[in-house]
């Protein structure tokens, strides 16, 4: 039983309507399949473009963003979300680079100071060693007192 007002086919239980969509067969089916395939390809073109743009962005090109479609729809919102996420990732990378550069600079200064101090100490040690050697040689030249 089918209601002409709603287009719903009713089962024996009128409280559970079902859609009256029957499968088609015959000469129109292959044409409809091809048209559906073509149409779905056209509908998915913006999704593929967004996918390709996102795939092209790597760690060396975090400044790039995905192009946004003109239509104010879910796909544009997805592009906006991707671009916002890329901005956050780029910001994190830049902070990490700045931290690494600052830490490197901060570590270089004390190491340079320590290296200079060690060089100075080594020079003093070399002078002290030569002074000690010279002193020992002088001691050897001093005549010894006769032992009793």
pLDDT at 74 over 50: yes
What is the predicted pLDDT for the residue at 93? 92
pTM summary value: 0.49
What is the predicted pLDDT for the residue at 28? 58
Name every residue whose Cβ is closer than 8 Å to that of residue 54 and which is 6 or more positions away in sequence.
66, 82
SS (H, E, C) the chain: CECCCCCEEECCCCCCEEECCCCCCCCHHHHHHHHHHHHHHHHHHHHHHHHHHHHCCCHHHCCCCCCCCCCCCHHHHHHHHHHHHHHHHHHHHHHHHHHHHHHHHHHHHHHHHHHHHHHHHHHHHHHHHHHHHHHHHHHHHCCCCCCC
Q: By C-alpha distance, which of 54, 45, 48 is closest to 81?
A: 54
pLDDT at 23 over 60: no
Least confident of 66-75, 94-103, 107-116: 107-116
Position of tokens 């997805």? Answer: 78
What is the predicted pLDDT for the residue at 81? 94
Position of tokens 């003093």? Answer: 124
pLDDT at 4 over 60: no
Which of the listed ranges 4-8, 20-24, 51-55, 135-139 does the model predict with the highest average pLDDT?
Answer: 51-55
């Amino acid at each position: 039983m089918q209601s002409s007002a709603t287009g719903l086919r009713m089962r024996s239980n009128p409280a559970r309507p079902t859609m009256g969509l029957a499968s088609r067969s015959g000469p129109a089916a292959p044409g409809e399949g091809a048209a559906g395939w073509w149409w779905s390809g056209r509908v998915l073109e913006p999704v593929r473009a967004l996918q390709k743009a996102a795939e092209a962005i790597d760690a060396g090109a975090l400044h790039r963003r995905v192009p946004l479609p003109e239509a104010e729809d879910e796909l544009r919102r997805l592009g906006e979300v991707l671009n916002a996420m890329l901005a956050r990732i780029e910001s994190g990378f830049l902070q990490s680079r700045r931290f690494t550069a600052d830490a490197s600079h901060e570590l270089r200064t004390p190491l340079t100071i320590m290296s200079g101090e060690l060089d100075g100490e080594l020079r003093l040690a070399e002078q002290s060693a030569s002074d000690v050697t010279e002193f020992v040689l002088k001691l050897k030249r001093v005549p010894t007192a006769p032992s009793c």
